[in-house]
Chains A and B, each alone.
Chain A
Amino acid sequence: MKNNILVIGGGPAGLEASAVLSRMGYNVILAEKEKRLGGHLAKWDRLFPDQTPAKEVLDGLLDGIKDVKCFTETDVNSINLLDRSFNAMLSNGITILADAVLLASGFDMFKAEKKEEYGYGIYDGVMTNADMEQVFREGKTFSPAPKAIGFVHCVGSRDEKAGNPACSKVCCATAVKQAIETKELYPEANVYCFYMDLRMFGRHYEDLYLRAQKAGIRFIRGRVSEVAETSEGRLLVKAEDTLSSRPVKVTLDRLVLMAGMRPSEAGHKVGRQLNLSVEEDGFFSSRDGFLSLQKSKLPGLFYAGACTGPKTLPDTFHEARSAAMEIDRYIKENFRK
């Protein structure tokens, strides 16, 4: 008999874990609330640090889930723990009895309009990292060619007032990547990155930073304080260049806000039904921070990916595979004696 495993969330974590579990011989059912699989990855154009096309990675993931039963545009309406299995009712009317559940609900992007001073949704030239990826993906160009473009790191991250004191981990590398791509498209444009600390921690990230510097991208250590529109409809941006301890202003055609990661609302909905605990940052808490990262406090319920905090894609894939291993061990110990 094949055990049923329910995977909630069809982003990179859910897809990779589903692929591994299905290779192990489990009967994997995946529920994804959106129309298409892939989560934020499906909306991205290229990935840091080496500009691998996001589609390539997504295609690889989709290749692995041929034997997985996928339900898209499907919410988990209710879920509860019976004796030792989970009973889940999906919004498509299907009820699933699963011996283990993997919660891979990922993250929501911080709503950039909450940082009112940046004028997202008010000033035409202000956009987010996700908007920028869409522009790249659809091969659109800005017309007329922009003379100056800025990138703001830490939008809704490291910001207590915005409700998120933590670092979102991926924004620095994303900003630098997008800045390079912008400079490649518009070599004449002045490109600025406004950062508080540059957190280029991963392998090859520092190379990306150096590449950006060599391309002539200007890094300004200081957070943008406010944005306004000039009489020509361009953006006047104010910040401090904290390295010279002086305020700066610059006129830009576009300002790209690196919206950070917030816990997924859909994930919280599932979490509330199972009484899963979240930490102060709103992300789910693992059973411990070292040896049981993929385990929740509930037996049979596991985590993978950004539902336990901001993560890069490689981190997410490691977690997805670890979670699959943990689930396999759990099933073997509890259901096959």
Chain B
Amino acid sequence: MIDFGFSFSPSSRINLDKADKEKFLSLAALEPDVLKCMACGSCSASCTAGAFEDTSVRKAILSLQNGLSDDAVKLLNHCMLCGKCTMVCPRGINTRHLILSIQKIYGK
């Protein structure tokens, strides 16, 4: 193999064909609220950890929908389970239980 001094740029494109549907369905069985998010961002706006670390329930749900579960888990690593997001969620999502469920299914 030859080294030309340059190589492929990584693609940022999400391939939805590769998203793990089975795991997501088992998460939805455990916490059906995961399906209810309408991406308003109230959770991230009020997140205690989010002001300092990349933490967001909204983004975590989106990452799971896009099949990027490692990203989702990372986005919740700094959560302190304070419950502020549960208070502000207009769809009444049980975010604390959702966060724990995500760790249970996707966590290492």
Contact = CB atoms under 8 A, between A and B. Distances in A.
**Chain B associates with chain A:** yes
Interface of A: 190, 192, 209-210, 213-214, 216, 218, 221, 241, 243-244, 246-251
Interface centre among A209, A216, A241, A244, by most chain B C-beta atoms within 10 angstroms, is A244
Nearest to B65: A218
A250 B16 contact: yes
B108 interface: no
Contacts of A249: 13-17
Given A249-B14, A250-B16, A244 B21 contact: no
Interface string B1-43: 0000000000011111100010001001000100111110000
17 contacts: A190-B21, A209-B38, A210-B91, A213-B36, A213-B37, A216-B25, A216-B28, A241-B62, A241-B66, A243-B39, A243-B62, A244-B14, A244-B63, A244-B66, A248-B14, A248-B16, A249-B17
A197 to B, nearest CB: 12
Given A210-B36, A216-B28, A246 B12 contact: yes
Given A214-B35, A214-B36, A221-B39, A244 B15 contact: no
* Top 8 closest pairs, chain A to chain B, by CB: A250-B16, A248-B14, A247-B13, A213-B35, A251-B17, A246-B12, A214-B35, A246-B14
Contacts, number: 49
Interface of B: 12-17, 21, 25, 28, 32, 35-39, 59, 62-63, 65-66, 91
Contacts of A246: 12-14, 66
Given A210-B36, A243-B62, A249-B17, 11 more contacts: A210-B91, A241-B62, A246-B14, A247-B13, A247-B14, A248-B15, A248-B16, A248-B66, A249-B14, A250-B15, A250-B17
B104 to A, nearest CB: 20
Nearest to A147: B17
Contacts of A216: 25, 28, 35
Nearest to A251: B17
B14 A214 contact: no
A272 to B, nearest CB: 45
Contacts of B12: 246-247
B35 A241 contact: no
Interface centre among B13, B36, B39, by most chain A C-beta atoms within 10 angstroms, is B13
Contacts of A213: 35-38
A210 B21 CA distance: 20
A246 B59 CA distance: 12
A248 B62 CA distance: 13
A234 to B, nearest CB: 10
B56 to A, nearest CB: 11
A251 B18 CA distance: 10
